[in-house]
């Protein structure tokens, strides 16, 4: 038996490759599937099943393409309905892969079709639970994404409580837990950075698995403090239910090199967003006016989904040289398939053409300290939890996720300053603000990491896990 967790950091997502005696199961694959096929060929094995723990909201899964390429059967849990051929498992249905078995455990709550998969080893012993978004390490899946008709988030939270108590917490303490997400995912509130745990460890450390927790307490704690989900979530669910275009075709249609003149013409003739994915330090020194920065070095795809929102939006790319196809691939992971070309030769091509460029003004924290007596306007674009944990007293919280809700707070003419934790999100925010005409925005270099070590007055620190 071979189990491999294939973790994609920029999505905070774990897919799984399981092989036994020449047969393979894939759980929650990424949209680009060639790696799974290559692994199976290397093992001289055949991919037999593709298990989906639920209809993912935060990425486009690879189940449809992988089934087309391999003939493997797609498996969803009870109550799932799809527009493509799939096996809808019954609760406790057993699937054989080589010398092991995988049992579908229907665990509604995060969504109604949510299903965990219990792997029993060659001796029939419970070995591992692929818990999807039902159980994370340190948290459970948010129960507000699949509200329909009369089913409320509190109803779903109640279902989740029952699922955890009857299907998950009854497993032995040494059963390994392989979740679908880790820290950084928007599918839960406080996920651990760890990506592999055990049932016993989660019973001891996960607030949602407290032994003496009532259903009422669970519902209150799980639903408390949930922020609105990113706008692209329902659009990704729709793709995962109804199917989507093969990623090979997406890359073929999108990877079109453009000269500066062609790039400018397309930008003028379409409503395309110019998306610059270079490092923030490179972007700040020079970029095409009206560009939006979302760098590949951060949690790229989720920020694209959260900020551009409409997956049908046309996009023109400025990427590091050689990163064009990988950028298109990473966009397609969250359903953004409408890249209409990229600037051939990256930003240097634009500069050499003599066309207009823009720059982002920045200030060091040391220089900012000298201006504090003037009561400068400072905006902190971190998440509310980060802000509450500790912040500069003079700063307002305008989270990047909801920047549009705070536009009226930014002055038209007076200089103002933005920061995040380290400098990635603040440059995204500044690029959006500049594109909207706020050329008086100034980025604080080093973000709150630098402010913490300055004389700028700050709030008392509160451990984020206690908020």
In this structure, the answer to whether residues 179 and 316 fall within a common structural domain is: no
In this structure, the answer to whether residues 275 and 408 fall within a common structural domain is: no
79 within domain boundaries: yes
Question: Whole-angstrom Cα distance, residue 123 to residue 121?
Answer: 5
Q: Of the residues 353, 379, 396, which one is the last residue of a structural domain? A: 353
Q: In this prediction, what percent of the chain has a pLDDT beyond 90?
A: 88
In this structure, the answer to whether residues 323 and 457 fall within a common structural domain is: no
Q: Residue 259 — φ and ψ, nearest 5°? A: -70, 170
139-156 residue pLDDT tens: 999 999 888 888 899 999
Q: What does the pLDDT average to over 116-134?
A: 98
Residue partners of 417: CB distance under 8 A and separation at least 6: 363, 368, 376, 377, 378, 379, 441, 442, 443, 444
In this structure, the answer to whether residues 53 and 199 fall within a common structural domain is: yes
144 within domain boundaries: yes
Q: What is the DSSP string of 114-148?
A: -EEEEEE-TTS-EEEEEEETTB-SSSB--SSTT-B
264-293 residue pLDDT tens: 999 999 999 999 999 999 999 999 999 999
Instruction: Answer whether residue 463 shows pLDDT above 80.
Output: no
What domain range is 40 assigned to? 2-234
User: How high does pLDDT run on average in the chain?
Assistant: 95
In this structure, the answer to whether residues 319 and 370 fall within a common structural domain is: no
pLDDT of residue 464: 67
Q: Can you tell me which residue has the tokens 């009422």?
A: 216
210-223 residue pLDDT tens: 999 999 999 999 99
In this structure, the answer to whether residues 381 and 258 fall within a common structural domain is: no
Q: Which three-class secondary structure state does DSSP give residue 239?
A: helix
In this structure, the answer to whether residues 315 and 449 fall within a common structural domain is: no
253 within domain boundaries: yes
pLDDT of residue 242: 96
pLDDT of residue 466: 59
297-335 residue pLDDT tens: 988 988 999 899 899 999 999 999 999 999 999 999 999
Q: Residue 280 — φ and ψ, nearest 5°? A: -60, -30
pTM for the model: 0.89
CA 199 to centroid of chain Cα atoms: 25
Could you give the number of structural domains in the chain?
3
Q: How confident is the model at residue 185 (pLDDT cuts 50, 70, 90)?
A: confident
Q: Of the residues 212, 234, 256, which one is the last residue of a structural domain? A: 234
Q: What does the pLDDT average to over 341-347?
A: 98
In this structure, the answer to whether residues 411 and 458 fall within a common structural domain is: yes
**CATH at residue 7:** 3.60.15.10
In this structure, the answer to whether residues 280 and 378 fall within a common structural domain is: no
In this structure, the answer to whether residues 75 and 150 fall within a common structural domain is: yes
Q: Of the residues 321, 336, 353, which one is the last residue of a structural domain? A: 353
Q: Where are the beta strands (DSSP E) in 381-437?
A: 395-397, 416-419
Instruction: Answer whether residue 174 shows pLDDT above 80.
Output: yes
55-74 residue pLDDT tens: 999 999 999 999 999 999 99
pLDDT of residue 262: 98
In this structure, the answer to whether residues 90 and 193 fall within a common structural domain is: yes
239 within domain boundaries: no
31 within domain boundaries: yes
In this structure, the answer to whether residues 24 and 138 fall within a common structural domain is: yes
450 within domain boundaries: yes
332 within domain boundaries: yes
Q: How confident is the model at residue 258 (pLDDT cuts 50, 70, 90)?
A: very high
**CATH at residue 382:** 3.40.250.10
């Amino acid at each position: 038996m071979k189990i491999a967790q294939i973790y994609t950091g920029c999505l905070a997502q774990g897919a799984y490759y399981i092989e036994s005696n020449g047969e393979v199961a894939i759980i929650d694959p990424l949209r680009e599937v060639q790696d799974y096929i290559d692994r199976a060929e290397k093992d001289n094995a055949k991919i037999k099943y593709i298990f989906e723990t639920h209809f993912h909201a935060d990425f486009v899964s690879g189940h449809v393409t992988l089934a087309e390429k391999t003939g493997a059967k797609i498996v969803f849990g009870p109550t799932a309905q799809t527009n493509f051929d799939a096996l809808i498992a019954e609760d406790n249905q057993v699937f054989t892969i080589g010398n092991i078995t995988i049992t579908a455990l229907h665990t509604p709550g995060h969504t109604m079709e949510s299903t965990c998969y219990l792997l029993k080893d060659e001796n029939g012993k419970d070995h591992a639970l692929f818990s999807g978004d039902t159980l994370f390490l340190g948290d459970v899946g948010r129960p507000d994404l699949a509200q329909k008709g009369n089913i409320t988030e509190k109803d779903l939270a109640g279902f989740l409580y029952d699922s955890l108590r009857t299907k998950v917490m009854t497993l032995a303490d040494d059963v390994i837990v392989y979740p679908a997400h880790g820290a950084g995912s928007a599918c839960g509130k406080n996920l651990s950075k760890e990506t592999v745990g055990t049932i016993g460890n989660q019973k001891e450390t996960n607030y949602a698995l407290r032994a003496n927790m009532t259903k009422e307490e669970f519902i209150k704690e799980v639903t408390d403090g949930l922020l609105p989900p990113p706008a692209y979530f329902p659009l990704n669910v729709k793709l995962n239910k109804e199917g989507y275009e093969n990623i090979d075709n997406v890359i073929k249609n999108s990877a079109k090199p453009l000269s500066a003149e062609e790039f400018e013409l397309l930008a003028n003739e379409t409503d395309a967003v110019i998306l610059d994915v270079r490092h923030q330090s490179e972007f700040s020194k020079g970029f095409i006016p009206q560009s939006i920065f979302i760098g590949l070095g951060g949690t790229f795809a989720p920020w694209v989904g959260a900020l551009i929102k409409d997956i049908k939006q046309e996009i023109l790319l400025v990427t590091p040289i050689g990163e064009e196809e990988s950028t298109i691939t990473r966009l397609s992971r969250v359903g953004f398939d409408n890249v209409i070309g990229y600037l051939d030769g990256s930003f240097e091509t634009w500069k050499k053409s003599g066309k207009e460029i823009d720059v982002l003004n920045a200030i060091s924290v040391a220089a900012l300290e000298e201006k504090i007596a003037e009561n400068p306007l400072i905006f902190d674009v971190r998440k509310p939890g980060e802000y509450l944990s500790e912040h500069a007293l003079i700063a307002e919280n305008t989270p990047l996720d909801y920047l549009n809700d705070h536009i009226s707070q930014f002055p038209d003419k007076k200089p103002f300053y933005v920061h995040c934790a380290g400098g990635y999100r603040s440059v995204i925010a500044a690029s959006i603000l500049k594109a909207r005409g706020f050329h008086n925005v100034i980025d604080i270099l080093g973000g709150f990491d630098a402010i913490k070590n300055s004389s700028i007055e700050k709030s008392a620190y509160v451990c984020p896990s206690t908020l």
